[in-house]
Structure 1
Amino acid sequence: MTTPIRLEAGTPAPSFTLPNQHGTPVSLESFRGRPIILYTYPQAMTPGCTTESCDFRDARERLMEAGYELVGLSSDAPGKNADFDDAERLGFTLLSDEDHTVQTAYGAYGERNKYGRIAVGPIRSTFIINADGILEHALYNVRATGHVARILKLLELD
């Protein structure tokens, strides 16, 4: 496997339809007319992913007041994402991309440096997509801790 692609601001966000934590199909087009923050996390209920997701949960009201929808995306099955949502009281959409197709299209799955060795897997990333489905920001290899504060600052919501 080679280095994943990297999307850039100004390009259309890749389309998708994936099941949410309740098994209901959700498409990118269903958010048309509203900007979204789509963040990818490696695995539900792990320390880093829990920290990041709970930080998004805690910022959710501020993001919603600014008009943003919040969507998490992982390789986890819908049931695991439902358990994660329930355990952490996240309250926003979590999508399941079990075959990594959407993560790959967004450049959020592929080779990465993990603790000094090359591994293949999810790449923690965040995509800010405007109401017309165009990428405004594509942030790759983000850290779980402090990332949401960075997003709030980027969006001038801090």
Structure 2
Amino acid sequence: MKNLIFAITLILSINVCAQNEIENTNVFVRVYDFQGKKIGKGKILSISETSLQLYRKGESVKVMVNGIGSIKTKHSAGNNVLVGAATGATTMAILGAATADPDAWIFAYTAGEGAAVGALLGGTAGAVSGGISILFKNSKSYDINGDMEKWKAFKEMIIK
């Protein structure tokens, strides 16, 4: 019985050190070449000794270390503003349409008018709050420049 348990444990743990690769870190990164042009973005699927594999919108992209100039974590600042504006506009448009009362004695408006005004005001407020959230974003930038020592340091930082 002991030998059976040992054999099963050995078989199940064979993949633990089979590859020198880090997988599924769930960190979103933007990858740039040496000229500062974005060459990839997405969540880190795996990191090996020579490449970075990203996953975005159902597709996997492999970027070789010798082509990486720098890596930035998290989404760009514009993403915060866009998400805030979209969320605010949608929420306030729904509320504006839902509270419409065309027969009111004062401030009578239709559902369409309420939705339009709600989208305008909510989008503006959401964009402002998204802009403020940029201050607390705390994204990091790593210069790699194809250097394997810097690549190893980046891998260590991602693991933590």
- What is the TM-score when the length of structure 1 is the normalising length? 0.25
More strand by share: 1
TM-score (normalised: structure 2): 0.25
Query: Larger relative CO (CA 8 A, sep 6+): 1 or 2?
Result: 1
